């Protein structure tokens, strides 16, 4: 989740108010201060933005502080009780502009972002500590974390972010688990039920991580999920804050790992963005190693998912910090452009995938509504050929039969879960048509014939180029009985695929 959002601070209302310094009524009308805006999330936490303003006459400088970034302001101008500034020059497509008014002890700021509704915030003068980072903890020396023995095939399950984002809660997770049992997802191999960001409250007086009111009892939730024959996953960050600005694991890695183990957690997604203000990318390996060590020390089998968007060639060192899977890309979205760019861009990473350690091109968008069923079959086929983790990201409580049939296709899943653990590669391209192959155990192969073009395309493959003429072929999506493989020809629809499983004859 490579997202920049406002910072969350967890405080009781009395603390919230006492932590802010009121501006004396007889002071000069000067904007110079650290202005703090806090907006309740509705789960016992607050979104916090700190505006660090420095006024010199009619000129305004400073920065806007969020949990994952501190952006210097540009074009800052003061005109009496009103002011304005921006977060980037005009040519930057992500430029945010701010228009504000000083009124007594408060400033009111209207935030204008491209493609989003305007937002109005009220801020008060805060303490000098507002928006500042904690003291930096140096990363540890590098060493190899022993293999935990988990994820010998790519993990399969469900993750809350793509569909629910910050609206996930205990009741949702329980009903998703119920649905995975009832609709056959569990029996098809989808066993992990993973809670993404926004479950955190803060820390108690002893420093232990606590849950917000959306998740009143994480241990009880884990017990419920386990009782369904499923496993529970959770989310954190090596930074002080998560991507959504909630409490991260910075400085508490070992304690958080012990807490996860005590709750009965089976999977941890560990997201880098909250650490970016404290650590350089070159220190990423050591920072992830710290949690890899902490998880191993608990003695509980916990799958370790590294989420750092493919930076620093993570596929070269992810396994050495205890990682079972590592993101190779930025966030996926529910569009053909995003899915195809990510999926077809994985070819060079094939040598780094093996049992227990997988390239992760991000979660499945199948069923979220932004692509056609044809494109979703391509999505599933490509991820299966890539030996990618299969983490559904849709609402499984109300899934269309045709979408469920894509997610639970036995042959596609078998290709993804093949114990040989080899990632597929592009064999050749012919215009918009691409042929991908994946070696399978027993000497077979999976073959994907993809049409990336805007119209239908005729494609033909022959057994000789795969050295599998003494073999049978099965069309995974056609559900036909296997036939003798000599050649295969088909008209592939736009953005479609023919996924074939070739099995040597006995």
Q: Mind telling me the catalytic residues?
A: 271, 331
Q: CB-hemisphere CA count at 13 Å for 78? A: 18
Helix residue ranges per DSSP H, 321-457: 336-343, 373-385, 401-407, 410-416
* Bridge partners (DSSP) listed for residue 52: 34, 63
Dist CA 497 CA 339 (whole Å): 14
Residues 245 and 8: beta-carbon distance below 8 Å: yes
Query: Pseudo-torsion of CA 240, 38, 95, 370, nearest 10°?
Result: 80
Dist CA 234 CA 252 (whole Å): 16
Dist CA 190 CA 186 (whole Å): 5
Measured in degrees and rounded to the nearest 5, phi and psi for residue 8 equal -105, 130
Q: At 2, is the secondary structure helix, strand, or coil? A: coil
Residues 226 and 264: beta-carbon distance below 8 Å: yes
Dist CA 295 CA 409 (whole Å): 33
Q: How would you class 251 by CB atoms within 10 Å of its CB: exposed for 0-12, middle for 13-18, buried for 19 or more?
A: middle
CA 44 vs. chain centroid, Å, equals 23
């Amino acid at each position: 989740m490579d997202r920049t959002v406002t910072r969350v601070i967890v405080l009781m209302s009395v603390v919230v108010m006492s932590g802010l310094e009121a501006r004396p009524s007889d002071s000069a009308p000067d904007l110079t201060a650290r202005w703090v805006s806090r907006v309740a999330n509705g789960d016992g936490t607050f979104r916090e933005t700190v505006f660090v303003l420095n006024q010199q006459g009619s000129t305004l400088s400073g920065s806007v502080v969020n949990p994952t970034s501190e952006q210097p302001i540009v074009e800052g101008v003061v005109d009496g009780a009103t002011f304005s500034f921006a977060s980037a020059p005009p040519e930057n497509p992500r430029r945010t502009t701010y228009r504000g008014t000083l009124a007594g002890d408060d400033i009111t700021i209207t935030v204008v972002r491209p493609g989003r509704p305007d937002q109005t915030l009220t801020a008060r003068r805060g303490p000098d500590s507002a928006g500042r980072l904690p003291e930096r903890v140096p990363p540890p020396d590098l060493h190899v974390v022993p293999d935990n023995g988990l994820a010998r095939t790519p993990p399969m399950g469900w993750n809350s972010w793509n569909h629910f984002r910050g609206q996930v809660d205990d009741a949702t997770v329980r009903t998703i688990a119920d649905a995975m049992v009832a609709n056959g997802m569990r029996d098809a191999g989808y066993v992990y039920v993973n809670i993404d960001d926004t479950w955190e409250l803060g820390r108690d007086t002893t420093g232990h991580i606590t849950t917000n009111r959306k998740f009143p009892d994480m241990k009880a939730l884990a017990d419920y999920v386990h009782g369904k024959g499923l496993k529970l996953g959770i989310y954190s960050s090596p930074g002080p804050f998560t991507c959504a600005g909630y409490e991260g694991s910075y400085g508490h890695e070992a304690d958080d790992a012990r807490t996860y183990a005590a709750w009965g957690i089976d999977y941890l997604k560990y997201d880098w963005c909250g650490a970016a203000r404290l650590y350089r990318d070159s220190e990423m390996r050591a920072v992830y190693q710290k949690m890899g060590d902490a998880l191993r020390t608990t003695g509980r089998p916990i799958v370790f998912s590294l989420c750092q968007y493919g930076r620093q060639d993570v596929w070269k060192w992810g396994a050495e910090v205890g990682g079972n899977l590592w993101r190779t890309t930025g966030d996926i979205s529910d569009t053909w452009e995003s899915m195809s760019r990510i999926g077809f861009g994985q070819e060079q990473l094939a040598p780094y995938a093996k049992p227990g350690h997988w390239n992760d091109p991000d979660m499945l968008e199948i069923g979220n509504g932004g692509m056609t069923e044809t494109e979703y079959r391509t999505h599933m086929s490509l991820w299966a050929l890539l030996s990618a983790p299969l983490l559904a990201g849709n609402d499984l409580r109300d899934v269309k039969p045709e979408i469920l049939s894509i997610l639970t296709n036995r042959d596609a899943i078998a290709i993804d879960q093949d114990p040989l653990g080899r990632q597929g590669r592009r064999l050749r391209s012919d215009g918009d048509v691409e042929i991908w192959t994946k070696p399978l155990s027993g000497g077979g192969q999976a073959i994907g014939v993809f049409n990336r073009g805007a119209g239908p395309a005729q494609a033909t493959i022959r057994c000789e180029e795969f050295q599998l003429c003494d073999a049978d072929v099965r069309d995974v999506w056609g559900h036909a009985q296997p036939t003798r493989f000599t050649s295969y020809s088909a008209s592939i629809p736009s953005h479609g695929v023919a996924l074939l499983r070739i099995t040597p004859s006995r």
